Structure 1
Amino acid sequence: MVTLADVARHAGVSASTVSYVLSGKRSISTATRERIRRSIEELGYRPHAGARALASSRTNILALMMPIRTDMHVPVLMEIAMAVTTTARAHGYDVLLLTGEEGPEALHRVEGSALADAMIVMDVELEDPRLPHLKAAERPAVLIGLPADTTGLSCVDLDFGAAGAQCVDHLADLGHRQIAVLGEPPAVYARGTGFAERTLVGLRGAAAERSVGLLHRPCDGTYAAVAATVTRIFEERPHTTALVVQNEAAVEPLLALLRQQGRAVPEDVSVVAVCAGQVAAEASVPLTSVGVPAQEMGRLAVERLFAHLDEQEPVGTVLIAPELEARGSTGPAPAGEPERADGGERGRRGHSRR
């Protein structure tokens, strides 16, 4: 096992000089520092984690607060977690994963015990109860998500509002006048989860600007829930010609149900999804989609966190611009009598607005 003394002998310096280079406690000339770095690499020296923490007053651990809930799509969460882990390891850090729904209590535990140098927080709500504690904490934190008030916080997320608007604009450009949205499970909206609410704001804003009718229905991801929701949509708005899906678990049940109902995609119904690009590309009908850049979100969160640790960057918000990729699930609206945005046919007399 290679020791610090071995590195010192190989580099031709004292053991204390090697220690100073590792801890950064003293200024060492560039030439000497590079010589020690080469010796460390050639010998394969790995500093003892406990000693390194004592020398630097850091644990070299990041905490990732990622509550696992039954109403959230776990594969996307794990993709973000993997990006956080690999980026942290590239900086010489390990990741402590907190998956419980503890809220502020978990923050107090990490802060009070000095388990980690900094924290990344996911599953962010608009009025998240953890925010006051994050703002008061001594250790830096980055949110993957956007609360209603971002003052004093550092956040990274997809611009979900713009993503929702892109879906509507794409379908409106194809001539669709009645669009329905299969949203996240009801519990996600009940919590005021930021990404779901912001997507809905973007969808509604673009629909109003384009004079397009929009119907939103929360939906669990089971086949039975999707079947009930789609049946209700076509009963309420029989002239619906396009569906936007923001629920990855509902994608395949929806496509299977449309096939069973004899509705061809995209000839009868166009479908757009807000989901991971791989899910859209590998669906039974390749889906036009706005991708959720899980890996980029995780990487950016870690990079910003290290910038905060080194006091190189002020807090603030970074929103990733959405990109819509057209595939085989969207096409021109079916030919027929044009409709109003309120769901009625043009020229139909005596029909009251909804």
Structure 2
Amino acid sequence: MVTLADVARHAGVSASTVSYVLSGKRSISAPTRERIQHSIDTLGYRPHAGARALASSRTGILALMMPLRTGLHVPVTTEIAMAVTTTARSHGYDVLLLTGEEGPEAVRRVEGSAIADAMIVMDVGRDDPRLPCLREAERPAVLIGLPTVSAEAADTAGLDCVDLDFEAAGARCVEHLAGLGHTRVAVLGEPSAVLGEPSAVLGEPSAVHERGTGFAARTLAGLRAAAGTHGVGLLHRPVDGTYAAVAAAVTRVFEERPGTTALVVQNEAAVEPLLALLRHQGRAVPEDVSVVAVCPDQVAVHASVPLTAVSVPAQEMGRLAVERLVRRLAGETPRGTELIPPLLTARASSGPAPSGSVPTEERRGRGGR
């Protein structure tokens, strides 16, 4: 194994000079620094992590707090974690994954020990109990998500937050459908005791809403605001991601509003059950009913009907969170909220509003196309 002494001999300098270059504790001339770096690269020297931490008071580790619990959007969560890891490595950091549901205790553990230089916090809920600890912590932290159900009412003072602009995402869905002539739209979201909406099926509300995670409420706020602006009648029906729940919700939608010509889906688990149900009912997509979703690109692209969707930019959120932390660790102090503008991609699931709401198979039976 190559040692610091080997590097010193190869570069023709003392071991202390190599140590000063690695720690940055003393100014070394550029030619000497370059000669030492050349020797490091040539010999393949890697400083011992423990010694490097003692020398610099830094661990070179970022803690990623990603509690594993029911109700999480696993594909999105995993994609964020991968983006955090790859971006951290590009800046010379490793990632320590903390998956337990310890709440404030996990923050105190990182803050009170030398296990990580900074924290990235996921699964942020409304009135999250970790927030007071994060505001008081000396170690930098970035939240992926907003600790509120409304971006305008977000109490993010003293916090760094990165998230998709879910309100704008909801508005973008309505704008797209209104531009295609749709005037009656139904929203299939997740069960929501927090939103004060009745569930489409009996049972416990989703863990997402029990915790007060605000992205669903912010999306709905954007949908409703845009519907008012564009004169679109909006019906919201929370629903579980099972076929039975989707069938109950959609049946109820068409019973209450037979003229509904478009559906917006935020609960990605409901996407394939919905498309299967519409096929079973003889409703062609998008000829009879358009479907728009807020979901990851891989869900939209690989659906049985490629979905028009606002993508959840998981990779960008993970990358931005790390880059903000790296800047903070370098001495930059500004904090705030960075909302990523939504991008809607039109695919095969949305089209012009039909002149009537009669399913395709019924029209064929009456001599239609």
TM-score past 0.5 threshold: yes
Contact residue 184 and residue 247 of structure 1 kept, 8 A: yes
Tell me if 1:276 matches 2:296: yes
Match of 1:41 in 2: 41
> Structure 1 CA distance, aligned partners of 2:311 and 2:78?
16
| Structure 1 residue corresponding to 2:337, chosen from 295, 302, 317 | 317
CA RMSD after TM alignment: 1.4
Q: Secondary structure at the match of 1:289?
A: strand
Q: Secondary structure at the match of 1:128?
A: coil
> Structure 2 CA distance, aligned partners of 1:105 and 1:226?
39
Identity %: 80
Match of 1:155 in 2: 161
Tell me if 1:226 matches 2:218: no
Match of 1:262 in 2: 282
Q: Is there any run of 5+ residues in structure 1 with no aligned partner, and where?
A: 338-354
Contact residue 304 and residue 313 of structure 1 kept, 8 A: no
Please identify, of 270-279 and 222-231, the stretch whose mean Cα deviation from structure 2 is larger.
222-231
- Shift in Å, 1:253: 1.2
Contact residue 71 and residue 185 of structure 1 kept, 8 A: no
Q: Secondary structure at the match of 1:113?
A: coil
Residues 278-326 of structure 1: CA deviation (Å, up to 9, x unaligned): 2111111000011111111101100100111111241111111111110
| Structure 2 residue corresponding to 1:208, chosen from 210, 216, 228 | 228
Match of 1:80 in 2: 80
- Shift in Å, 1:241: 0.8
- Shift in Å, 1:194: 2.1
> Structure 2 CA distance, aligned partners of 1:136 and 1:144?
18
Residues 71-120 of structure 1: CA deviation (Å, up to 9, x unaligned): 12101100000000111112222111122222212112222223211100
Match of 1:336 in 2: 356
Tell me if 1:50 matches 2:56: no
Tell me if 1:63 matches 2:83: no
> Structure 2 CA distance, aligned partners of 1:218 and 1:38?
61
Please identify, of 181-190 and 71-80, the stretch whose mean Cα deviation from structure 2 is larger.
181-190
- Shift in Å, 1:183: 1.1
Please identify, of 161-170 and 207-216, the stretch whose mean Cα deviation from structure 2 is larger.
207-216
Runs of 4+ in 1 over 6 A off after TM superposition: none
User: Which residue type is aligned with residue 10 of structure 2?
Assistant: H
Match of 1:13 in 2: 13
Number of equivalent positions = 337
- Shift in Å, 1:125: 1.9
- Written as runs of structure 1 = structure 2, the 5 A alignment for 1:226-245 is 226-245=246-265
- Written as runs of structure 1 = structure 2, the 5 A alignment for 1:92-241 is 92-147=92-147, 148-186=154-192, 187=206, 188-241=208-261
> Structure 2 CA distance, aligned partners of 1:244 and 1:69?
26
